[in-house]
Each structure stands twice: as structure tokens, then as C-alpha cells.
Amino acid sequence: MGQQQLNVCVVGAGYVGLTTGVCLAYLGHQVTCIDKDREKIDMLLAGRAPIYEPGLEDLLRLANARLKFTTSPEACRHADVIILAVGTPPTPNGNADLSFMEAAAAEVAAQLTGERFQVIVNKSTVPVGTAQRVNLIITTAIASRGGSANFAVASNPEFLREGVAIHDTLYPDRIVIGSASNEAINMLRVMYAPILEQTFAAPKVCPRPERFDLPALVTTDVTSAEMIKYAANAFLAMKISFINEIGGLCEKVGADVTEVARGIGLDKRIGPRFLQAGLGWGGSCFGKDTAALIRTAQEYGYDMPIVSATVSVNRRQRLRAIDKLQETLKVVRGRTIGLLGLAFKPDTDDLRDAPALDIIRVLLEMGARVKVYDPVALENFKIQYPNLAVEPCKNASELSQDCDAVIIVTEWEEFRHLPLAELAEKMTGAKVLIDGRNIIDRQDAEKAGLRYVGFGR
């Protein structure tokens, strides 16, 4: 029996929505991506992705025949599944801003006719209770016009990592579906069948991992599904903050945190992932989700000291780069400091909550001259932060010219293979290399004439 093809609408063609929509189209479904941003839609219609994600434009071309892009929500009328993947940015008090989600739910409600059963999926990361809120918005809107409801709301959180989002979509550890409707769960099971059974032909841009185990399907209630997402991100953030805290003690006692991480990571109960000490985490997920989790707990009068400490340790870790500059250069004012990497992680142009931004601001306040280079995110940086008075560079060699110190902020692959001797020759003064991601061998750096400073080493 062949795969059942569904008609899917994705509301929001941002990072999560676009990746999800393109992958579902590649798997054989008919997909329409809806976004209010006309410029973004025009780019997609021209076959260009508005975000940087390895392999996305290749997959976009492969799935082109089953993809549509529009600014109109009318396509929702004929969809079997409507995926809400709009932004939920943080508010000043830590809550998630649900205005985009609620507006999307209202627009979808206006398109539902009740002639067919439809599943409304919350794909965005949202606080506990949002599925009920979306259900209420849609039910109220339908009742106000005298229509009949024939839909169910499901929570289907995403677990995508920027830079490997296609891999995480096609080869996930698990797929979580929360709904009170068995019909909704069954429809989403059909939608994800090619992934759950791995029956699709793996694209060349993202081959199937060797000995890949079939993903687990977790079906639960909507509240538990919403909590799973927050709990997962909080735990991963905690793991990074933990190894950074251990790294601080390693510096005091003379241990090497990379060796400690390797030793504890071999314990299957712990595992090696997310144990890389350095400048800490950034991006749109960990900070926002830990803040939302803490805020939700406060609303119930519940204290979460471990998650709160996770955030505090990460905030402190970014400023450790400044501490290390002061320890080696003594005086930062008037010095030239180079930053290698602006994006919060490699293989993305995303600058949201990037450690580089905090480091740049502090260095400028201290009176330093700041030079920056990033292989992908530099243009985004120029557009988004035109008031940060830094000197953009074309490559690491240009950046190192006349620098007193260079900080590796993002672990781009090309930074693992820096021409260390060339950098040392162009640098001045103490020639300090602060390895904010522990990706350079100390002996190689010192042999090249650099004063190497790692994290937790």
C-alpha cells in the first residue's frame, strides 16, 4: 500500500515552519506555506530560502512540485492538517508572547467550514495551556458565525537544532503528539509515517545515518506534550551550564575540562553531547524557554532553583572572555580585539542571543577597538546591529592584523583549521588567542607563537 498523501498548510514560514513544510513536501505531502511577509514569500517563489540552513535550498528544489507559497490563509480551507509555526518571542517578564499565535488561530478559524475534519497543530514552542487557548479561540469564532466545529487541536513540539534542522526533521529521536482526539493523533501518524517507518528515499544533501533506529512516537495529552518541549530544552541548557561550572573549578585545580567531559560522557547515563565547555549557549530557544519555564513556575508559586542557576551560570560564562582578556592584557582600553564568529552557533546566520553580542558591547564600553569576522552571519550582523561600532573583516587573516587578542566565539569548522602562524605574525603585543570553544590544540597555538587561553583547561 502506498503512502497516504495529505494536504498540509504551514502558517509561518520562519525557521521551524519552512523547514517542516519543505521536509513534509519532500516526503510526498502537498504543502502550502503561508506567511504575511511578502518579501519572504517572493524569495521562496523564486526558489531561494530566506534563512541560512545547510541543504534547505537543495531540498526546496527537490520538493518544488508539491510546494506552494502564499500570503493568503485561504489555503487552510482545504487542508487536512494546519500547522501553526509562528514566532513566540519572550516578553520582558519572561513569558512567551502569544499574540502571533492567537492572531494565527483567529485567521485559521475564519477559514474552517466544518465540511471536513481538520487538525490544528501547535508546532511553535508555547507555554502550558496554549493548546486549550487556541481551541477556545477557534471554537468561539466558529460559534459566533453560527458554524459547526469539526476540528481538533494537537500539540506537536519541534526539536530542531539550527544548522542540522533537516537531519533533525527526517531522522528524529522521537515525535511527540499531544491531543485528546484519537482521530487527530491518527492523522498526524499518517503525516509522519514516512519518518516513523523511514520509507522515504534519503536525500543526498542529508543521508540517512548508519544504523539509525526508527523514531519513537510519543502520544500523550496536550499539556504533557507542551511540557516535554520546555523540559527538554531546560535539561540541555542545564547540561551545558553544568560543564561550564565544572570548567571553572578545573581552572582553579589544574584539571582539563575536555578530559573531564570525555570521562563522564562515556557514562551512558550521562552521554557526551552538550558537554562542551566554553562561552555558553545562545540562540532563540534555550534562553527563551528557560525564562518561560521559570515564569510559569512563578505563576503557580513554585520555585525552580536548578533552572534559575542554569541561566545565571550561562550569563556569567559570557563575561569570562572579558575576565581572561583582563588577566592576560591587564588593560583592555585602547587594545584591538578580534572576534571570530558572530552567530550563536555554527552553520547558521542566527544572531539571536548570541554570546558575541554581549562581548562586543562590553568591549566597546571598555574602550577597545573591535574587529569581527563570521563566514555566514556577517551580513545579518551589519543589518541588525548597524550602531555597534565594529570593523567587519573578510577573513580570519584580515581580522588578526594588529590585534592584541583574538577570541574564538563560534566553533565554525574553518576556525578549527586556522593558519595559526600567519595569525601570530600579523598580531601585536601579547598575541593572545582566547579559545572560547576549546577547538584549538594548545601546543599548536603556542608553537605558532600565540599565548593560548582556553576555558576550563
3-state secondary structure of 368: coil
Q: Name the catalytic one among 33, 76, 285, 403.
A: 285
Among residues 90, 124, 161, 206, the alpha carbon closest in space to that of 348 is found at: 161
Q: 456: burial class by Cβ within 10 Å (0-12, 13-18, 19+)?
A: buried
**Pairwise CA distance, residues 72 & 419, whole Å:** 51
387 half-sphere exposure, CB direction, 13 A CA radius: 1
Task: Compute CA 296 distance to the chain's CA centroid, rounded to the nearest angstrom.
Answer: 21
Say if residues 191 and 6 touch (Cβ distance below 8 Å): yes
Please state, in angstroms and rounded to a whole number, the distance separating the CA atoms of residues 166 and 15: 11
Q: Which helix (H) or strand (E) holds 62?
A: helix 56-62
Binding residues for substrate, by number, are: 159-162, 229, 274-278, 282, 345
CB-based contact 80:8 (threshold 8 Å):
yes
The span from the CA of 23 to the CA of 167, in Å, is 10
- The C-alpha angle 22, 26, 27, rounded to 5 degrees, equals 120
User: Which residues participate in the annotated binding site?
Assistant: 35, 40, 88, 125, 159-162, 229, 274-278, 282, 288, 345, 352
- In 300-374, which ranges are continuous DSSP H helix? 305-329, 355-365
Please tell me the total number of residues recorded for the chain in this structure.
Answer: 457
Q: What is the 3-state secondary structure (H, E, C) of 134-166?
A: HHHHHHHHHHHCCCCCCEEEEECCCCCCCCCHH
Q: Please state, in angstroms and rounded to a whole number, the distance separating the CA atoms of residues 368 and 337.
A: 7
The answer to whether the CB of 137 falls within 8 A of the CB of 151 is no
CA–CA distance from 402 to each of 227, 365, 406, 425 (Å)?
Answer: 50, 20, 10, 9
Annotated binding site for NAD(+): 35, 40, 88, 125, 162, 288, 352
Instruction: Phi first, then psi: give them for residue 110, nearest 5 degrees.
Output: -65, -15
List alpha helices for 192-221, DSSP H: 193-197
Active site (annotated) includes residue 393: no
Catalytic residues: 285
